A and B are shown apart, each in its own frame.
Chain A
Amino acid sequence: MDIFSNLALGFSTAMSAQNLLYALIGCTLGTLIGVLPGLGPLATISMLLPFTFALDPTGALIMLAAIYYGAQYGGSTTAILVNLPGETSSVITVIDGYQMARQGRAGVAIATAAIGSFAAGCVGTIVLAAFAAPLATVAFRFGGPEYFSLMVVGLVGAISLSSGSVPKAVGMIFIGILLGMVGTDITSGAQRFNFNYPELQEGIEFIVIAVGVFAFGEVIASLGDNTVRETSVKKIGQLMPNREDFRRMVPPIIRGTAIGSLLGILPGAGPVLGSFFAYGLEKKVSKYRHMLGKGAIEGVAGPESANNAAAQTAFIPTLALGIPGSPTMALMLAAMIMYNIQPGPQVMTKNPEIFWGMVVSMWIGNLMLLVLNLPLVGLWVKLLSIPYRALFPAILLFCCIGAYSARFTSFDVFLAAGFGFVGYMFRKLECEPAPLILGFVLGPLLEENFRRALIFSQGDYSVFLTQPISAGFLTLAAILLIAASLPKIRKSRDEVFAEAG
């Protein structure tokens, strides 16, 4: 397996004028649907799938893949500009990205997201090209105990997401877990918290909570704020990162890329976990960690690199094993099968031009997205100079469309409105919504894997400690917990001593 000759084959496939055009169409479409809340890559790919039958398989797959990561890019734009994460993986970007926008640094934040994503995409592509086959087997090693312990690390890490009070963050995580439980319990088939609404039988859509808690809550809060009346930002400020910004974004991009590349391999919540973990890591190791939550560039660069790297390496289990890690990947797989391409280890030897063409086109797609998005920064940022009286109704309208289009039911729009008030209350009580979202996304995975682990072990709890990977994660979680509480213990001890003295 000569990686260079393979990449050369890939380049010769991907660089054809026709395939470049497909990648461009896909990237543009992806960016657009990423910017519109609710209309995610899943819906878009499934709607476009029938139209791609006319194309040749390589071109069609290149286009579908471009839509997929174009959407990852676009999702962060709304997160930064209007406090609305379009995808689960851009929830974290909201925290510092929106603060940057309010400080007039929206352009810098969007550019940072684009640059970080590009850098991560390059690394992700190389990882995919070089290690697809050996890394694929990592996915099998993760069973119930391993996933459970990984989720524990994620939830413990979520406490550090919040810059405010720890008890409030813990409370928000629990509310999130409870919201995640709404609907049918997969193990027993029992209905939980559905209050006899059939619409709640399959749980709550992520976008409904995101639209409510983030976007609606923000709009209500802004209306109640007498100090801001005209536009959301007073001055636009610089559009592109300066030398200092570049210097500060490099380390988080490297760290975020590493974390994202690893977590992307795990089927399930790769991009989400990647961005959460990257943010948690910045909180621990960054030189500027005291500024996180207040508009630090690290808070955008790290998570954005992580989710894009994960989006890239998520192709590993799909391509190498034929087992998709997400519904979107399942659709990509369906597309491959439709073109008579049988995914699995043999795809690399049997259809090398398709495999390597796709790998290379991912890299080209990332480059295109960078070229496409940087000039658009000025345009996106101009949206912020629209007066509130026009911008707010527009945001509300698009959010309602987003909440509706997830399942085509007006119930979800009302539910989102309800969450809007909840989001406003959270803001008033100074409870941050990001830990809630993490609880909502990871809670169901935590429960499912916990119960599966115990079914397989026939009720033996020691399985979480006897499985080495699982034990490693639990140790890490314990260390994180101790590290998080140490300053508090020391502080209270100091207070005690001060009083005594």
Chain B
Amino acid sequence: MAMYFQDLLLTLQNHWAKLGCIVTQGYDLEVGAGTMAPATFLRALGPEPWNVAYIQPSRRPADGRFGENPNRLFQHHQFQVILKPAPKNVQELYLDSIKAFGIDPLEHDIRFVEDDWESPTLGASGLGWEVWCDGMEITQFTYFQKCGGYECKPVAAELTYGLERIAMYLQGVDSLYDIEWVKGVKYGEVFHENEVEMSKYALHESDPVQLEMLFKSYETECKRLIDLGLPLPAYDYALKCSHAFNLLDARGAISVTDRAGYIKRVRDNAALCAKGYLKVRQKLDWPLCKTKWTVGEQLPMHEGKPASDAWKTVSFEEKEEKKEAPRG
């Protein structure tokens, strides 16, 4: 039985929904990866449990290839799963998910190969693997260690499935434009023109002067909203900043020397949002902690105390100075 692109999406959604994840929609702003959506970046912070699955359309202006490259896209789709705290059997849960869409580990060589991840624009980093299926990377599997400059306690597991790649594999096609979305309709018929136009815009036609202006005003707006105690809308502007930077970068409008400066500005905003978010959640007394919401197997502590206890004593007011410059 053919596994259409949308069967893959639905299979993954159902798999994680059955295990107790909430299924939400991808974020409605331009992001480069599912990690940047607030449902990952912000929710990975603090002691509260969070188990979510969503499809995130992800824009990478520099990867635009005018619809000509069979393996690269301006916009691709990620299936993003966050499990916090990471369950003890997260690898098994993950393996069940790939079995669900038809990859049997007795028929294919499945391996977990070291791949650490770091996002300088988010002040975030994690350790984990790329999951290989017969030598092809099908998923990024990351244990978050740090986010917005803060240590992640507890640690969230992030699973990012590259949907187009997996679909190409399952359908045995060499170009992602040949993926059958549903019987009779190909990926190319849905998205090819989008790739052509978006690539033209990002690589040739965008207006760097205007983008730079936008970058600055988004940045200012983000800071203004932080000061008003509104970290969630502030984070929207941090994301817009990041996208403006990506567009400038794709256009070749940022010199090597200036690049680090831009990245730092995006990171600083993201860090402010992270702090603002934590402050608000703390004021609300970490509401999700009262839900006992878990997915998969959780084991009792045998030694020491839960890492998430660290948040009980954190005061964001006092640490203002220290946390101003989180490590990236």
Question: Do chains A and B stick together as partners?
Answer: no
- What is the interface of chain A, defined by CB distance below 8 A to chain B? none
